[in-house]
Structure 1
């Protein structure tokens, strides 16, 4: 690919300066997701990039043309990427009401996990914890915060959590798209993910 020779035509939305960005001669490669832009820069612009590089590692900058007169301005966002994230599991309104009832009596959080148990191999587990572990996923829905254990993410991602109350028992049930098979009693399951 040939570098663009007209610097006035190139505008970059975000300019993350990282060690992954390559400077080859006077042709700079900007790794900007999802495209890679390349163009020729002057020695003055190269010095400007080197000056701003330590400051730009922590957060993105706003859209600006990179000719010699443009100023780099920072966004006010504290996070590097502020994309909306979809919850790992969805919780039905009935389950939300039951979780609110359970968590009101406890001053803790509820962690959902998967344990080796039952005739099929895996079973859902629930435990109260004071705070999430470092890599646990926090799911917030309708004012309820539930933690999904890091080791259980691949087994229950995309699941829907519901609460069933019938004549025999009251329990949380999961509609899990990752389940390959269940045991006869329905208490344990096998997933597609190891």
Structure 2
């Protein structure tokens, strides 16, 4: 919907692909749907859920048996994002390296984006 022809809206690292494939197998799901919702300190939060099938106009990115489904309204905000999976000493989880983020909260759970040119402010 908002992607450039021949360019996926997001990229998936091999570590993220391995974890997504594990989650898909455990839930017998088609893929991991990623979206955005209003919330958090900075204004927007990423959402993730296992999905049985993509909906119309959702973008699907595949790597090594893993599928990421991007909700239509999230595509413009996620374009160019790298999705990684990191395991550290104290925590593990998905990391979004999103070039469209202009601000994030201190804990890193929510983000903010530059206003979209031509968009009307919400009332």
TM-score (norm. length: structure 2): 0.84
Match of 2:55 in 1: 133
Structure 2: gaps (5+ residues): 117-123
Task: Check conservation: 2:24, 2:50, Cα contact below 8 A.
Answer: no
Which of 12, 35, 38 in structure 2 is aligned with 1:91? 12
Which of 154, 168, 173 in structure 1 is aligned with 2:76? 154
Structure 1: gaps (5+ residues): 1-83
Match of 1:190 in 2: 112
Q: Which of the pair is proportionally richer in strand?
A: 2
CA distance in 2, matches of 1:95, 1:128: 14
Task: Check conservation: 2:38, 2:44, Cα contact below 8 A.
Answer: yes
Q: Secondary structure at the match of 1:135?
A: coil
Match of 1:113 in 2: 35
Q: Secondary structure at the match of 1:94?
A: helix
CA distance in 1, matches of 2:41, 2:60: 29
CA distance in 2, matches of 1:102, 1:130: 12
1:193 shift after superposition: 4.6
1:168 shift after superposition: 2.4
Q: Secondary structure at the match of 1:190?
A: strand
Q: CA offsets per residue over residues 40-98 of structure 1, 9 Å max, x none?
A: xxxxxxxxxxxxxxxxxxxxxxxxxxxxxxxxxxxxxxxxxxxx722110011111111
1:140 shift after superposition: 1.3
**Runs of 4+ residues deviating >3 angstroms:** none
State which structure, 1 or 2, has the greater radius of gyration over its C-alpha atoms. Answer: 1
Tell me the C-alpha RMSD between the 2 structures. Answer: 1.4
